[in-house]
A and B are shown apart, each in its own frame.
Chain A
Amino acid sequence: MEKEPGEHETSAGRAGTPPAVLIRGLWKRYGEQVAVAGIDLELPAGRFIGLVGPNGAGKTTTLSMVTGLLRPDSGTVEVGGHDVWGDPVAVKARIGVLPEGLRLFERLSGRELLDYTGRLRGLAADEVDKRATQLLDVLDLAGSQHKLVVDYSTGMRKKIGLAAALLHNPEVLFLDEPFEGVDPVSAQTIRGVLERYTRSGATVVFSSHVMELVESLCDWVAVLAAGRIRAQGPLAEVRGAAPSLQDAFLELVGANDRAAGHDLDWLGGGAR
C-alpha cells in the first residue's frame, strides 16, 4: 500500500489527504476508434462529483476503467491512494459501483440480491440483514423486496442497484447514469440518499448528460467530450461567466454555434 513514492507530489487534496480518485494518462482504443484519449483527472474526496459529456464522450468507458471492470490500454488509476490494478483488495473494498447497461442477477428478489452481494462482500449475515432492511426501507423498495428484480421497473432497478452498491459502505461510489429512465419520485429518493451519503464525508462520482441535474446536485464537475477532459474543477469555476452549466458545456464542446434548423421552416402552424 505504501508502494507509490509519487503519491504525495500528485495529490492536491485538502491538507494532505489523497484525492478520492487520481487518473493519469488513461487511454482506451477499440480498433481504429479512440474511446478515451489520455485522461488526467484528480477528483477531490468528500464531494458530489459530476462527470458530464454528450453521448459517446467516453463516460461509461472511463468509469468502467476506473472501477476495474475494463482494462485500460495505458494509464494508471488510484482510488484513495491505492492502485486499481495493482492493489484490487484495497480498492474493491473501498468502492461501490452502479454500472449502466450491465445486468444484475435479476432472477433473485430484491432482498436476495442484497443478501447475495453483502455476503460476497464478506459481511456477516445479521449485518447484511440489518443494512438491507434499512436500505430497502429508505429506497422505498420494502413492498417489492420479495419480487424478482427481473419484474422491477427501471427506477426500481436503479434503486436496488444503488442499495447493492452502498451495502458495504464504500468510500467512493461510482454511478453511471443513475437517473436515466428514472421517474421523478424515485429520482428524488436516490438524490436524498446520495446527499446524506456525501454529507458523511464519502465521495460520489456520477455520470450524466443532463446538465440541470448535475448543476443542482454537484459541487465539482468534469466535462468530457470525445474522450478528453475539457474542463474540471468546482462547479462555479467550470461554469465561469456562462448563465448556466448547460451554456458553459455547449461552449466547451463547441456545439453552441449550430444554427437552429433553417430547413424545417414548413414545420408547425400555417399550410399543411
Chain B
Amino acid sequence: MTATGSLTAPAPLTALFVRLKLSLLRNGLRQSAKRRAAYIGSVVFTLLFAALQLLGLIALRGHDHAAALVTVLAAVFALGWAVMPLFFPSGDETLDPTRLVMLPLRPRPLVLALLVSSLIGIGPLFTLTLAVGSVIAVAHGAAAAAAGVLAVVLTMLLCAALARAVATANTRLLSSRRGRDLALLSGLFVAVGAQLLNVGVGKLSGENGLASLEPVADVLRWVPPAAAFDAVQGVSDGSYGPAAAQFALSAAALALLLWWWQRGLTHLMTSPDSSTIQAAEPRRERPAGARPALHRLLPDDRTGTVVLRTLRYAWRDPKTKSAWVTSLAVGLLVPFVTTVQGGGSVYTACWAAGLLGMQMYNQFGQDSSAFWMVAQTISSPRDAYLELRGRALALALVGVPYVTLVVLGSAALMDEWAAAPEALGLALALFGALVATGAMTSALYPYSIPQDSGYKNVVPAQAGLAWAGIFGGMLTGAALCAPLIGATIWMHTAGADDRLWLLLPLGAAYGAALALAGLRLAAPRVAARLPEILTAVTKG
C-alpha cells in the first residue's frame, strides 16, 4: 500500500468499499436455498482445495525443484488473475468502475479503496494460501522468512492490481457485444483447459516430472510476481544481490500497474460510456454481386443456403462456436491424452466422431427463437428434409475430413496403421448414426439453450427433456452401430485379417445410409411440429 504514495483522507472511502465487499459476500447467502447451497458448496470446495495445495507445497519443502515449481505457480496465478475478469466479468460486481461514475470520487483514494476491497474474498484467500505455502516450501532461515512475508504482500497486491487494471482497461470491451461474446467462450476454455491440465499433471507427477519446469522457471524468475518467490529462494541461498533486484523489479511492476490502472480509471470515468459508441466497425465492403468463395462453391438452393448459414454460425455465434470448438478440441485431445498416458488404441479416435456427431442434436434449439424464420419457410416435409439435410451436410463438411484426420493421426501416433481402416469405418458409421438420431431428437425433443451463459446449455425446466433426448439418442446411435461392431469382431475372430479394410467402405456406406434414413424419418415430424418446436426453443 506504500506504492500509492501520499493520500488525502482515504480512510472513509476504503472502509466503505471494504464494507460493500463484505456485504456482497454476505449477500451470497441471501439467495434461494438451492443457490445458497451452491454458493456455500463452492466456498467449501475452494477452501478444501486451497488446504490441499498448502499441504502439498509444505510437503515439497526441501525438494530439489521446489523453487522452480513455486516460481511457475506464481506466474500461473498472476495470469489467472489477469484473465479472470475477461471471462467472468460478473464474478465481482465491484470490478466495474463505471458503476461509480456518478459519484464525486478522486482517482487516488478510489484506487486504494478498490485495491483493498479486491483483496477481500474467496479468490484472494485462495491465492494467499498458495502464496504462504510457496514461501514455506522455499524459505529457509529468518532472513528468508522475512523476505517471504514481503513476497506474499507484493504478490497479493500485484495480482489484485493486475486484475483491476486489466478489467479497467477492458471495461469498454467487457460492456460491449464483443466482450459478452468473449465471456461466452469461457466454457470452451474450461473444457479444453481441463484436458491440458490432465496432461500437464500427468507429466509432472511422473518420474523427474518437476525437473522439466526448470527451463520455464529460468525465464519466469525475472517476471513479477514470480520474481518475488525466486527472491525468497535466493535469500535462503544467500544470494542477496539478485534477490534485491528481483524485489525491486516486483515493486516497480506494482507501481507501474497502479499508475496504468489509475490512468485507465480516470479516462474511463471522464469519457462517454460504450453504449453510445459503435460496438463494431462495419464489415469489409464487398462489391455488389460478389459472393464469398464458399458461397460460390455451394449449390444455389435451400441446401446451400442452410449449409452456409450453419457454417457462418459455427464461426460467428459464440455459443455455437464454443460447442463446435469444444467438441473438435476434446475429440482431438482424447486420443492424444490416452496415448500420452500410455494406453488406448486407434479406436479412441471414435470420440472425435461421437463428439462432433452430437452437434446434430437439438439443431433448432441452437437457432433459439430465430427458428421462426426457418419455420416460416417450411411448409412441407420436403422443406423440412432439405433444412435438416443442409445442417447435416454442414456438419459432415467439417466432420468427415476431421474424423479421417484424427483416425490417421492416432494411427500414426500409436503406430497402428493396420487398424486405421476399420477404426475409420466405425467412426464414420458412428457419425452417421449420431446425425440420424440427432435429427430425430431435434424434431422430437427440442429444448432452449440459454443465450447469455457460457456454461448453461439447457434451461432448468427442460433439463430432463434434454438429457433424455441426448442419452436416448446416444444409446440408439450406439445400438445402430452394433451390426458393424459385430462384423468387425466376427472378421477378427474368423481370421479374415486381410479383408479388414472392407470395413472402411462398409462403415462409410452404412453411416451415410443411417444418416439419410434418420433425416427422412425426422423431416415429416419437424414439418408437423413447427409451432411446438418454436415454443420449446424460445424459453431461453
On A, residues with C-beta under 8 Å from B are 67-71, 88-89, 91-93, 97, 99, 101-109, 112, 115-117, 119-122, 124-125, 129, 133, 143-144, 146-148, 150-151, 164
Among B365-373, B404-412, B505-513, the one that faces the other chain is B365-373
Asked if B305 and A103 sit within 8 Å, CB to CB, the answer is no
Residues of A within 8 Å of B304, CB to CB, are 119
Asked if A146 and B286 sit within 8 Å, CB to CB, the answer is yes
- Tell me the complex Cα distance, A71–B285, Å: 42
Residues of B within 8 Å of A150, CB to CB, are 177
Among B24-32, B460-468, B527-535, the one that faces the other chain is B527-535
- Tell me the complex Cα distance, A106–B177, Å: 12
On B, residues with C-beta under 8 Å from A are 177, 278-280, 282-286, 288-289, 300-302, 304-306, 308-309, 312-313, 316-317, 367-370, 372-380, 530-532, 534-535, 538
Asked if B376 and A102 sit within 8 Å, CB to CB, the answer is no
Closest to A104 in B: B370
Asked if B379 and A102 sit within 8 Å, CB to CB, the answer is no
- Tell me the complex Cα distance, A171–B516, Å: 36
The listed residue (B279, B283, B302, B369) touching A120 by CB distance below 8 A is B302
Residues of B within 8 Å of A164, CB to CB, are 373
The listed residue (A69, A92, A112, A146) touching B285 by CB distance below 8 A is A146
Residues of B within 8 Å of A121, CB to CB, are 377
Known: A102-B538, A108-B312, A133-B288. A148 touches B372 (CB 8 A): no
Asked if B316 and A102 sit within 8 Å, CB to CB, the answer is no
- Tell me the complex Cα distance, A202–B534, Å: 28
Asked if A109 and B283 sit within 8 Å, CB to CB, the answer is yes
Asked if A116 and B309 sit within 8 Å, CB to CB, the answer is yes
Residues of A within 8 Å of B289, CB to CB, are 129
Asked if A146 and B313 sit within 8 Å, CB to CB, the answer is no
Most buried by A among B289, B368, B379, B535: B379
Residues of B within 8 Å of A92, CB to CB, are 376-379
Residues of A within 8 Å of B309, CB to CB, are 105, 108, 116
Asked if B531 and A71 sit within 8 Å, CB to CB, the answer is yes
Asked if A107 and B316 sit within 8 Å, CB to CB, the answer is yes
- Tell me the complex Cα distance, A108–B367, Å: 12
Residues of B within 8 Å of A93, CB to CB, are 379
14 further A-B pairs in the complex, CB-CB below 8 A; given A68-B375, A117-B373, A120-B302: A67-B376, A68-B531, A69-B534, A102-B370, A104-B373, A107-B312, A115-B305, A119-B305, A129-B288, A146-B282, A146-B286, A147-B280, A147-B283, A151-B278
- Tell me the complex Cα distance, A183–B375, Å: 29
- Tell me the complex Cα distance, A133–B287, Å: 12
For residue A70, give the distance in angstroms from its CB to the closest CB of chain B.
5
Closest to A113 in B: B373
The listed residue (A68, A88, A107, A122) touching B313 by CB distance below 8 A is A107
Closest to B319 in A: A107
For residue A134, give the distance in angstroms from its CB to the closest CB of chain B.
12
For residue A50, give the distance in angstroms from its CB to the closest CB of chain B.
22
For residue A235, give the distance in angstroms from its CB to the closest CB of chain B.
30
Asked if A125 and B300 sit within 8 Å, CB to CB, the answer is yes
Question: Would you mind naming 20 contact pairs between A and B with Cβ atoms under 8 Å apart?
Answer: A69-B530, A70-B534, A70-B535, A71-B531, A88-B380, A92-B377, A92-B379, A103-B370, A109-B283, A116-B308, A117-B377, A120-B306, A120-B374, A120-B377, A129-B289, A146-B283, A146-B284, A147-B280, A151-B177, A164-B373
Residues of B within 8 Å of A89, CB to CB, are 379-380
For residue B25, give the distance in angstroms from its CB to the closest CB of chain A.
35
Asked if A69 and B300 sit within 8 Å, CB to CB, the answer is no
Closest to B387 in A: A120
For residue B373, give the distance in angstroms from its CB to the closest CB of chain A.
6
Asked if A69 and B305 sit within 8 Å, CB to CB, the answer is no
Asked if B305 and A120 sit within 8 Å, CB to CB, the answer is yes
For residue A157, give the distance in angstroms from its CB to the closest CB of chain B.
12
Closest to A91 in B: B379
- Tell me the complex Cα distance, A271–B302, Å: 69
Residues of B within 8 Å of A68, CB to CB, are 375-376, 530-531
Asked if B280 and A151 sit within 8 Å, CB to CB, the answer is yes
Residues of A within 8 Å of B288, CB to CB, are 129, 133
Asked if A102 and B305 sit within 8 Å, CB to CB, the answer is no
- Tell me the complex Cα distance, A124–B289, Å: 13
Closest to B178 in A: A151
Residues of A within 8 Å of B177, CB to CB, are 150-151
Residues of A within 8 Å of B379, CB to CB, are 88-89, 91-93
Residues of A within 8 Å of B532, CB to CB, are 71
Residues of A within 8 Å of B380, CB to CB, are 88-89
Closest to B451 in A: A103
The listed residue (B284, B300, B367, B530) touching A105 by CB distance below 8 A is B367
- Tell me the complex Cα distance, A199–B360, Å: 46
Residues of B within 8 Å of A116, CB to CB, are 305, 308-309, 373
The listed residue (B278, B283, B369, B530) touching A103 by CB distance below 8 A is B369
The listed residue (B282, B312, B378) touching A112 by CB distance below 8 A is B312
Residues of B within 8 Å of A103, CB to CB, are 368-370
Most buried by A among B278, B285, B317: B317
